[in-house]
A and B are shown apart, each in its own frame.
Chain A
Amino acid sequence: MLKANGDIRIGVYVCHCGTNIAAVVDVKALAAYSATLPNVVVSREYKYLCSDPGQDMIKQDILDLKLNRVVVASCSPHLHEQTFRNALASGDLNPFFLQMVNIREQDSWVTTDKPAATQKAQDLVRAAARRVAFNESLERGRIPINPAVMVVGGGIAGIHAALTLANAGKKVYLVEREPTIGGHMAQFDKTFPTLDCAACILTPKMSSVKNHKNITLWTYSEVTRVDGYVGNYKVKVKRLPRYVQEDLCSGCLECLKSCVFKEAKVPDEFNMGLAKRKPIYIPFPQAVPLVPVIDPETCIQFKSGKCKKTCIEACGDRHAINLQMLETTEEVEVGNIILATGFKAFDAKRTPDYGYGLYPNVYTALEVERLVNASGPTGGEVVLRDGRTPQTVGIVHCVGSRDENTNRWCSRVCCMYSLKLAHLIKEHTGAEVFNFYIDMRTPGKGFEEFYQKLLNERVHFVRGRVAEVTDWAMDPSEENKLVIRVEDTLAGLVRRIPVDMVVLSTGLEPQADAEQVRRMFNITCASGGFFLERHPKLAPVSTFTDGVFLAGCCQGPKDIPDTVAQAGAAAAEALALIDAGFVLTEPNAAYVLEEVCSGCKTCVPMCPFSAVEFLLEEKKARVNPAMCKGCGTCVAACPSGSIHQHLFEDQQIFEEIEGILTNA
């Protein structure tokens, strides 16, 4: 380790970041102060250090003034550490002789007290100047990237990401929890604003997933464990038994016909319970794979063991039906993982004022998607549960959105799908349709035009958040109706509008198990519970775990075009790593000074990655640098102080503490 008493020549560079820093921190004073610090040869301030001239300035000083240490006081190292490391390298100085000081995110942006901010910056620079003296010259390691990719979730996002990667010749494992891929999009009838049929554009992609030689599709399966790190993940996948063997089944569906249940009795999940299915079923006709699944909860054979097993008869020599089938586990190694686990629709029961579950004619948007769908339970006829065709329909926006009592965010798609449903309902029934909205949000290509179209179709738009939906007839004209009470804030009237059908435009939420999933993949959730991207603008599909990417609504509510775009981006990010062939590691691995190690083994259990091994004959611990991820937990635990960590040496941290606290 280079000792501080060696010839240390430090250059300190203070960034204005326009006015972001300069408006609060007195950058001139800071630079002047820095110049007075020991070993500091030069100290400058500059408008934008990250700009080319800014970096050239550093490079030139390194060359001209023979600097061997550089301190940059600017933004967070998470933003520009790499930029300035490159600047050092361009001056033929080992990039790890850089020390960054965060005086933007953690100083100028979080206080308005200028003297205090400047003082804070001085303390931090002083600390950095002491620390950097003890920085060492380090080399980055290389981790090879396994070209296989796992995509978790078989909705439109997962499908698109999987196909993009597979078409680029990469091996893809697509894991879907449901018996079929397709996700929410498969349930939709039309898509806004173009009104093209969802199935028509989705099902071809679904079947090409099925037929693609590079894609291994595991439906009815879940990821249970993830080990490893970027380029080298080990993933365990639990495959639930569907009791019909995919390799043997021909998809003739004879078994469904022959089931002892002559007519379907079980509420059909895919149709939001508006239709019934049998214990042996396929979710929908275009399901992929087109292989039935047996639901042991309702199958007589599983419940009583006394079934005629007509399904097995029907299957005949194929012997595809196997009631002894057991849960299996697959384990694969992949280099990258794309999470496309989607969203969960808001549970309308959580807003009791709207009477969902209480009044049969209050529907959720997803239910109505099935009602208007030609292949839906009513064959596309919009009829109420009692068979009547609604004459008047009220569509309530923002159910479970923009509400501190449920979810505070705007779900982004509800306005548009509400307009779509309004159009379809009017088209199917000629009913008088009322939309109740807080704000009309149509920020997309062709969206505003679609809104205009609806206005001219004489759909009513009442601006005001619905207060209540009741069956309370205040007036004879309201008998046997659902009455929507709302302030029409534009007409300036409180109104009671009796309707036959209420549609609740429910918002989008994170999946119920988003929390477990993010832990399994070691990523973070944003406040709402959606997965957190690495940077909202500059790394929107990356996470803080290298090699794990996000696509679709698991990252936040978005429509189909945005989802597909994001899926493509995630695939591209993975491809970039794969085609580079390796990633460079941060050289912050721990290492043991064997002469000092007492062989007490305290460190061994400390490492969750079992990177610390104990050499029996030498009776010493050793860290396997390839497996060490650089957390430094073993270092802190070592009683003899024989374990060290590159980039975070005890000495460096002591110097930092000293620097912070010794007021020069």
Chain B
Amino acid sequence: MKKLKAFWLSSDMRRKMKFQREADLQWAQQVAERPGCEGLFSCLQCGTCSGTCPLSIYMDFGPRKIISLVREGFREEALSSQTIWLCASCYSCAVHCPRQIHITDVMYSLKREAIQQKLYPKRFPIPVLAQEFYKMVRRYGRSSEFWLVLRMALRTNPFQLLTMSGTGWQLMRTGRLRLGQDKIENVKELQSQMAGREVR
């Protein structure tokens, strides 16, 4: 999006008002064509989703507003929001929606796009975990909580490892923490199966 040169916009204050040319209506259409997102345009904006969402306590927008932003084509706002990452895929919104919209899938598709477009909030651990998880499973075919958390922590905020150590020890003590990296025998076969399937 080219920056506006107009004098009255040259101030450092963040502009809240939106010009219609900043709205990407084609994009809204594309999103609505993705699997699970077809209900997007039948949304009534009733807010049941945000109401029932256990994470909406901490969300910046909440699912209802995300749908409104997507539908009106405000791509950046939607993709760079924390809301889509805080979604823990509990599907509460989906089963409560009076229009039966698969809101969780909308969130997934926005997460994927945010990753591709590198629009996710920086130093925000959730997308990082997702990426590390993705790499690990592609490499070994299985995930190991220990290495996963370790990698994520290193990439976001190493200090949290200290706070985690307590829990780590507890898990170790109860034999619930495996230090070795799990892997399947037939990684090659898995990888070949995966090959070409990626949409990235």
Q: Which of B6, B18, B42, B44 contacts A495 (CB 8 A)?
A: B18
A493 in complex: contacting residue of B6, B25, B41, B74, CB < 8 Å: B74
B19 contacts A477, C-beta separation under 8 Å: yes
Are B20 and A497 neighbours in the complex by a CB distance under 8 Å?
yes
- Out of A463, A475, A493, which one reaches B4, CB within 8 Å? A475
B17 to chain A, nearest CB (A): 5
Tell me if A646 counts as interface (CB < 8 A to partner B).
Answer: no
Across the interface, which residues of A come within 8 angstroms of B64, CB to CB? 490
In the complex formed, the residue of A with least CB distance to B43 is A455
Please determine whether A493 and B17 come into contact, CB atoms closer than 8 angstroms: yes
Residues of B contacting A477 in the complex (Cβ-Cβ under 8 angstroms): 19-21
Measured CB to CB, the closest approach of chain A to B38, in angstroms, equals 9
Q: Is the CB of B72 within 8 A of A460?
A: yes
Residue of A whose beta carbon sits closest to that of B17: A494
Q: Contact partner of B19 among A460, A488, A496, CB < 8 A? A: A496
Are A491 and B41 interface neighbours, CB within 8 A? no
Q: Does A663 contact B (CB under 8 A)?
A: no
Q: Verify B68–A490 contact, CB threshold 8 A.
A: yes
Is the Cβ of B72 less than 8 Å from the Cβ of A491? yes
How many chain A residues touch the partner (CB < 8 A)? Answer: 22
Would you mind naming 29 contact pairs between A and B with Cβ atoms under 8 Å apart? A455-B42, A455-B43, A458-B41, A460-B71, A460-B72, A462-B72, A463-B45, A474-B19, A475-B4, A475-B19, A475-B21, A477-B19, A477-B20, A488-B68, A490-B45, A490-B64, A491-B68, A491-B72, A491-B74, A492-B61, A492-B65, A493-B17, A493-B74, A494-B16, A494-B18, A495-B18, A496-B18, A496-B20, A497-B20
The 6 closest A-B pairs by CB, nearest first: A477-B21, A490-B68, A491-B68, A494-B17, A497-B20, A493-B18
**Interface hits, A448-504 → B, CB 8 Å:** 452, 455-456, 458, 460, 462-463, 474-475, 477-478, 488, 490-498
Chain B residues with Cβ under 8 A from A498's Cβ? Answer: 20
How far, in Å, is A453 (CB) from chain B's closest CB?
A: 9
User: Could you say which residues of chain A place their CB within 8 Å of the CB of B42?
Assistant: 452, 455-456
Any A CB within 8 A of the CB of B59:
no
Q: Are B25 and A432 in contact (CB under 8 A)?
A: yes
Determine the distance from Cα of A432 to Cα of B17 in the docked complex, in whole angstroms.
Answer: 21
Q: Output the least CB separation between B68 and chain A (Å).
A: 4
Q: CA separation between A462 and B23, bound complex, in Å?
A: 13
Given contacts A494-B18, A496-B17, 13 further A-B contacts (CB under 8 A): A458-B41, A460-B71, A462-B72, A463-B45, A475-B4, A475-B19, A475-B21, A477-B20, A491-B68, A495-B17, A495-B20, A496-B18, A496-B20
Across chains A and B, the number of contacting residue pairs, with CB separation under 8 Å, is 53
Q: Chain B's nearest CB lies how many Å from the CB of A136?
A: 64
Chain A residues contacting B44 (CB-CB under 8 Å) are: 455
Chain A contacts to B: CB under 8 angstroms: 432, 452, 455-456, 458, 460, 462-463, 474-475, 477-478, 488, 490-498
Minimum distance in angstroms from A568 CB to a CB of chain B: 34
Shortest CB distance A104–B (Å): 40
Q: Which of A475, A492, A493, A497 has the most CB of B within 10 A?
A: A493
Residue of B nearest to A459 (CB): B41
Query: Is B69 at the interface (CB under 8 A from chain A)?
Result: yes
Rounded to whole angstroms, the CA-CA distance of A494 and B72 in the bound complex is 13
The interface residues of chain B lying within 8 Å CB-to-CB of A495 are: 17-18, 20
Determine if B29 is an interface residue (Cβ-Cβ < 8 Å).
yes
Q: Among B41, B43, B44, B61, which residue has the most Cβ atoms of chain A within 10 A?
A: B41
Taken together as a complex, chains A and B put the C-alpha atoms of A462 and B69 apart, in Å, by 11
Find residues 1-19 in chain B having any chain A CB closer than 8 Å to their own CB.
Answer: 4, 6, 16-19
Residue of B nearest to A392 (CB): B20
- Smallest Cβ distance from A118 to chain B, in angstroms? 47
B64 (CB) vs chain A CBs: closest residue: A490
**In whole angstroms, how far apart are the Cα atoms of A497 and B6 in the complex?**
18
Q: A452-B42, A455-B43, A463-B45 are in contact. Are A490 and B20 (CB under 8 A)?
A: no
CA distance A474 to B43 in the complex (A): 32
Q: Shortest beta-carbon distance, B63 to chain A, in Å?
A: 12
Chain A residues near B72 (CB-CB < 8 A) = 460, 462, 488, 491
